[in-house]
């Protein structure tokens, strides 16, 4: 393994530093080695692919949800029409024969 000789100053919050240090310790690594490995394993294209996949799912679910809402509204409108017709018939004077 090549010896690390270059520095990259990175500002983090106290909380972030505690989290990174704890994660590094849990992994049995120094904080520097943990950050190097994390940086090397990061792939923007993988993240982008995941985000695009999530977006596709959101779009599909949204379309299905919109259709379900439209169907429910149509059902309610038809029910209201039937109730109005029944109410209208109930209000008509009864014809005696």
pTM of the model: 0.46
57-66 CB contacts, 8 Å cutoff, 24+ apart: none
8: helix, strand or coil: coil
Given this model, what pLDDT does residue 93 score? 77
Give the confidence band of 23 by pLDDT, cuts at 50, 70, 90.
very high
Given this model, what pLDDT does residue 56 score? 95
| Contact between residue 6 and residue 39 where contact means Cβ atoms under 8 Å apart | no
């Amino acid at each position: 393994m090549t010896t690390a000789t270059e520095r990259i100053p990175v500002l983090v919050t106290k909380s972030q530093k505690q989290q990174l240090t704890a994660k590094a310790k849990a992994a049995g690594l120094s904080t520097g080695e943990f950050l190097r490995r994390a940086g090397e394993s990061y792939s923007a294209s993988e993240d982008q692919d995941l985000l695009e996949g999530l977006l596709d799912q959101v779009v599909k679910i949204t379309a299905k949800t919109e259709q379900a809402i439209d169907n429910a509204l149509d059902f309610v409108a038809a029910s209201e029409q039937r109730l109005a017709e029944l109410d209208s018939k109930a209000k008509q004077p009864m014809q005696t024969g």
